[in-house]
Amino acid sequence: MALHYHVIPVTPFAQNCSILWCDETQLAAVVDAGGDLERILDFTRAKGLTIEKLLLTHGHIDHAGAAAELARQLGVDIEGPQADDAFWLDQLPQQGQSFGFPHSAALTPQRWLNQGDSVTVGKQTLQVIHCPGHTPGHVVFYNAEAGLLVAGDVLFQGSIGRTDFPRGNHRDLLDAIHNKLFILPDDTTVITGHGPFTTLGDEKRSNPFVMNAGYR
């Protein structure tokens, strides 16, 4: 029994939408269904997967913009992010208008997530880690057995998430990375919200925003 994943870049922002699934049950979760729903559904149909829930790392339009519509089509629940991102999810219509995205209604997930919670995908379990800074309610998902971290816009290859948006906080972001993510194994694969995958060890060694305490 194992957790598998596949990433489909969606929206004009090339956001990494992750499809996670349990190979024993063929049950799947879609993380950050920002748009391009047919591409997501085409993949899951081709693999014979059944989407049982949607997960959100945070409330920005490129990550959450199509989640309500996909949940409606499939009749499934949305879990995450942490409740402080209600501020962003309530503004999805305005976000879409600002960035030229298709209309997206405001949404409230069926389950808000907090530090220490867990989510399931089939028989697999992922730990929820609250990592504020890019947005106040940003969460990430970690599966120790697979050595996998779905990091949203917290950590990128050689970079970190922006903190100049409303309610962003640079210190909170660095604290979350150092105190919550960098305590995980170095060989953990990081699915970033945009761009190539990386590992926590590589970012510890070479990411200029976080490798040296002087950058704090």
Stretch (H or E) spanning 184: none
Phi/psi for 5 (5° steps) reads: -150, 155
pTM for this prediction: 0.97
**Number of domains the chain is built from:** 1
Q: What is the pLDDT of residue 11?
A: 97
Task: Write the CATH number for 86.
Answer: 3.60.15.10
Q: What is the pLDDT of residue 214?
A: 47
Domain ranges, residue 66: 3-215
Contact in structure between 163 and 115 (CB atoms under 8 Å):
no
pLDDT along the chain (216 residues), means of 10: 96 98 98 98 98 98 98 98 98 94 94 98 98 98 98 98 96 96 98 98 94 53
Q: What is the pLDDT of residue 212?
A: 59
